[in-house]
Amino acid sequence: MESLFDIDNEELLTIKAASTWASEYLTKDVTESNISYLIQYGKIRKVSGNGSTCVKMDELKRYYDSFHGKREVDWKNQLGEDLNWRLSFDYLREADTTKHVHRLHPYKGKFIPQLVGYFIDEHTDESKKQVYFKPGDIILDPFCGSGTTLVQANELGIHAIGLDVSEFNSVISNAKINKYDFWDLDQQIKKTTHALQQFVSDSHAIEFEEKLLAELYMFNTKHFPSPDIKFRFQDGEIDERKYGRENVNKFMPIYESLINEFNICLSQEAKKSFLDKWYFPSVREEIDFVFKQIKKVENPRTKTILVIILSRTIRSCRATTHSDLA
């Protein structure tokens, strides 16, 4: 194992060594990015060791011990010991459960492709005693959602028909299994992006955003030093909610000053739809502009995938909470 130090009788692991150790300890793939994530979000502390970024082995072990296997025990206590925990697929990374087109657009309540694959592929085991589908068969999913079953059936050579009461769900599902002219898609993305850049260059929005980000960077560097502050929140040393409210109040005068300086409007006069409520006027104008550009695209499949890209983008810049997304 690479770079194992002993400082003050505590074993320190480099990021790479911690990744190797955790993979062996959990018998699942734990990447260096996974370890860096734990540091970044204050789950474990970053320690310097011989000039390298390190973590304490006992701290890493405590973190994994705190939940590894606990979910299985808790659910079996609720549902019974005959629960097939393998179907939880809790050993998989998010990158695996949202592989290729399954991450095309966020969707609440989506089940993972591995679960679908388990039931429709041709393997058998002690829980699945027989094969239910084979290539060439037809699967009907009457509640297809974002199309997970359709995609997995497609991969296995099984025909699939999906139904859903939501028109947008149907759009997402079809988009995942369609074929595209990638050259045309690339050209239309570049064309639309260039048009948007020209559109926003005439407003103060970009200048305002750059100034706001610069002020936030200085403020956060002083009041929210990362990752130390996140570990202190996690450890209960600091009340995160109270500390957050106090610092929001400190930053508000800076924010309001920038709003006035650049004459930024934060609310729309009419609030007839969720678009009026969820987006600042300047953002709404950009959304409408891009949508008009997309409507000019002639290839219907290119147009559809551009609409989904726009939907995913505006979902990330909404002025509302995650819980408001139904």
Q: What's the mean pLDDT in 110-127?
A: 92
Q: What's the mean pLDDT in 228-257?
A: 91
Q: What's the mean pLDDT in 143-170?
A: 95
Name the packing angle between helices 182-201 and 205-223 (round to 10°): 90
Is the predicted pLDDT of residue 170 greater than 50, yes or no?
A: yes
Distance from first CA to last CA of the chain, Å, rounded? 46
Pairing of strands 52-56, 159-162: unpaired
pTM for this one? 0.72
Fold of 84-177: Rossmann fold (3.40.50)
Cβ(127)–Cβ(91) below 8 Å: no
Domains of the chain: which residue ranges? 4-65, 84-177, 180-204+267-326, 205-263
Which region among 63-72, 147-156, 157-166, 244-253 has the lowest average model confidence (pLDDT)?
63-72
